[in-house]
Amino acid sequence: MNTPLTEYETVIGLEVHVQLKTKTKMFCNCRADYQYAPPNTLVCPVCLGMPGVLPVVNHRAVEQTIASGLALNCEISENTKFDRKNYPYPDLMKGFQISQFDMPIAKNGHLEIELNGDKRSIGIERVHLEEDVAKLQHVNKDGEESYSLVDVNRSGVALMEIVGDPDIRSPEEARQYLIVLRSILQCIEVTTGNMEEGSLRCDANISVRPKGSKHYTTRTEIKNMNSFRSVYDALVYEIKRQIDVVETGGRVIQETRGWVEDRGVTVSQRSKEQAHDYRYFPEPDIPPMTIDRGWIETILNQLPELPTEKRDRFVSQYHLSRYDAELLTMSKGMASFFEQTIQGTKPTCADHVQRSKSVANWLLGDLTSWLHQNSITIEDSKIKPSHIGELLDMLEDGILTTPLAKKVLAHSFANSISPLQLVREGGYELIGDTSVVLKAVKDAIVSNPKAASDYRLGKQTAAKFLVGQVMRITKGKADPVEVSALVEQELKVIYEV
Ligand code: ZN
Ligand code: MN
């Protein structure tokens, strides 16, 4: 790539499709939990697209879309309707998708993101409701695509589309936008937000323009990104590609490009349709809908505390850093686990502010990494808030040291046994008998004469090394402060007396 002659600015707009958490599909009574169902078992004439059938709107899905609109600071339309979006594709059973064209349920909202202390407001153009399509499975034979299988189970599942304004200026902002958006939608419980399962899918419109320019240049649309990571990687790749095209005198053409994860590239798929290609027209089988103010009020009153509100409350109520509060409130499960742990704190606890900080540290540190390693959510784990509480009490009472507490906790996570019970059953208490520790110190010095002579030459690290040896001999059950003091004492006895 040549060095850019101009500085470029990136313009990104994200379209996010979200599968709603409804029991039944958008327009029929088929169950919507198709993820693990055998192919083509959750189908009926409506979602199979048979002629002569009538769609019936899923009330819950409309309610969840209104709730999402409200959580994203949108205006909720009093009058709304469904439209037919026509396009031929084998996964679309009817040859059209019931969607919303000019009267979406919600519009003109915004979402706040913060990156490196920089606050930005990203506009939300619209939030509308539509139906998901069937799933195609392309079967390859001898390296060539030979036939495709159709699973209609997903067809007709309630799908909400959130169209963001082209206000995003970097892949980092795009990722942050998605993280915040997902945490809001998970908080109000309208979706699982699982990207790998396709419950949350993101398409990105992207273009580059000379910095300072207000014009929109030709954009491409990228599809097929199924993780926050791949959205980020695909955008980074596409920015470079577009600048490269412009720098070498070419022109970016309007097209849809697919992200190929294992090759780390975007490839051209087809020229991008314009809205008129879809020949939208009002869905004749569904009467226009009126959303009355009373219904909106009720939904608004039922909205839970949103992640940003919760974050600000955590900062003021528990004196946490903004950063820790932000991380804790990203997931509803983690936030409530934190609060339950704090609520379970004994009145005898010496310092409640310090306790909040410790709980946050253990949750964001050891607990989070254990959950990651085991690919499990806090809700699905058997870890209880009281377990963290017990551990912190024992630390405060000096029954455990931090290294020992980490071991207890790992054991407790793995076997769902409470830390208190683990310590009571033995094997984890500190060695209380100083003579036992002293013997270990003497053994360590005798078997490491080099470290001892290094210490004599003034190497402080030698003492640290010996402390480590003693901790090893005592299997971590000695108090490191005591060990450190005893090591110094013994070395002085040897060399100075
Ligand atoms: Zn059906
Ligand atoms: Mn759509």
Structural Rg of the chain based on CA atoms: 30
Given this model, what pLDDT does residue 226 score? 86
Q: Flag whether pLDDT at 5 surpasses 70.
A: no
Q: Between 460 and 112, where is the model more confident?
A: 112
Whether the CB-CB separation of 442 and 469 falls below 8 Å is answered with no
Ligand nearest the Cα of residue 19 is: 2
CA of 17 to the centre of ligand 2 (A): 7
Rounded distance, CA 360 to CA 471, Å? 27
Residue 28 half-sphere exposure, CB side, CA atoms within 13 Å?
Answer: 22
Confidence of residue 212 (pLDDT cuts 50, 70, 90): confident
CA of 414 to the centre of ligand 2 (A): 42
Q: Between 290 and 485, where is the model more confident?
A: 290
Q: What are phi and psi of 321, to 5 degrees?
A: -70, 155
Residue 458 zone, left/alpha/beta (φ > 0; ψ -120 to 50; rest): left
Q: Between 476 and 10, where is the model more confident?
A: 10
Tokens found for residue 125: 């153009």
Q: What are phi and psi of 361, to 5 degrees?
A: -60, -45
Ligand nearest the Cα of residue 32 is: 1
Mean pLDDT confidence for 79-92: 95
DSSP state of 150: E
CA of 198 to the centre of ligand 1 (A): 20
- SS3 percent helix, strand, coil of the chain, rounded to 5, is 40, 20, 35
Confidence of residue 317 (pLDDT cuts 50, 70, 90): very high
Ligand nearest the Cα of residue 202 is: 2
Q: Flag whether pLDDT at 192 surpasses 90.
A: yes
Mean pLDDT confidence for 472-492: 82
Given this model, what pLDDT does residue 272 score? 63
Confidence of residue 194 (pLDDT cuts 50, 70, 90): very high
Mean pLDDT confidence for 195-201: 93
CA of 47 to the centre of ligand 1 (A): 4
Ligand nearest the Cα of residue 203 is: 2
Q: For domain 434-495, give the fold.
A: Arc Repressor Mutant, subunit A (1.10.10)
Q: Flag whether pLDDT at 322 surpasses 80.
A: yes
- Give the Å distances, CA to CA, from 275 to 85, 254, 279, 280, 361: 9, 14, 7, 8, 50
Confidence of residue 4 (pLDDT cuts 50, 70, 90): low
Given this model, what pLDDT does residue 435 score? 87
Mean pLDDT confidence for 179-198: 94
Residue 494 half-sphere exposure, CB side, CA atoms within 13 Å?
Answer: 17
Confidence of residue 327 (pLDDT cuts 50, 70, 90): very high
Question: pLDDT tens digits, residue range 7-36?
Answer: 899 999 999 999 999 999 999 999 999 999
Given this model, what pLDDT does residue 294 score? 97
CA of 124 to the centre of ligand 2 (A): 15
Tokens found for residue 172: 């980092």
Mean pLDDT confidence for 443-458: 88
Question: pLDDT tens digits, residue range 352-393?
Answer: 889 999 999 999 999 999 999 888 889 888 889 999 999 998
Rounded distance, CA 344 to CA 390, Å? 9
Q: Between 415 and 255, where is the model more confident?
A: 255
Given this model, what pLDDT does residue 402 score? 85
Dihedral over alpha carbons 181, 183, 184, 187 (to 10 degrees) = 160
Ligand nearest the Cα of residue 43 is: 1
Ligand nearest the Cα of residue 98 is: 2
Q: Flag whether pLDDT at 422 surpasses 90.
A: no
Q: Flag whether pLDDT at 403 surpasses 80.
A: yes
CA of 397 to the centre of ligand 2 (A): 57
Rounded distance, CA 479 to CA 127, Å? 58
Question: pLDDT tens digits, residue range 452-475?
Answer: 888 888 887 888 889 888 878 887
Ligand nearest the Cα of residue 97 is: 2
% of the chain at pLDDT higher than 70: 97
Whether the CB-CB separation of 82 and 94 falls below 8 Å is answered with no
Rounded distance, CA 258 to CA 334, Å? 35
3 state SS of 20: coil
Ligand nearest the Cα of residue 53 is: 1
Q: Domain-by-domain residue ranges, the chain?
A: 5-297, 305-424, 434-495
Question: pLDDT tens digits, residue range 262-316?
Answer: 999 999 987 766 767 899 999 999 999 999 999 999 999 999 999 999 999 999 9
CA of 52 to the centre of ligand 1 (A): 14
Ligand nearest the Cα of residue 26 is: 1
Confidence of residue 3 (pLDDT cuts 50, 70, 90): low
b/e burial code for range 213-233 (CB count within 10 A of at least 16 → b): eeeeebbbbbbbbbebebbbb
CA of 54 to the centre of ligand 1 (A): 11
CA of 89 to the centre of ligand 2 (A): 14
pLDDT averaged over every residue in the chain = 91
- Give the Å distances, CA to CA, from 289 to 65, 98, 286, 296, 464: 14, 14, 9, 14, 74
Q: Flag whether pLDDT at 399 surpasses 90.
A: no
CA of 300 to the centre of ligand 2 (A): 25
Given this model, what pLDDT does residue 34 score? 96
The pairs formed by 82-88 with CB atoms below 8 angstroms and a separation of 24 or more are 82/57, 82/129, 82/282, 82/283, 82/286, 83/280, 83/281, 83/282, 83/283, 84/280, 84/281, 84/282, 84/283, 85/130, 85/278, 85/280, 86/278, 86/279, 86/280, 87/273, 87/277, 87/278
Q: Flag whether pLDDT at 2 surpasses 70.
A: no
Among 97-111, 202-216, 301-315, 480-494, which stretch is predicted with the lowest mean pLDDT?
A: 480-494
Q: How many CB atoms lie within 10 A of CB 318?
A: 20
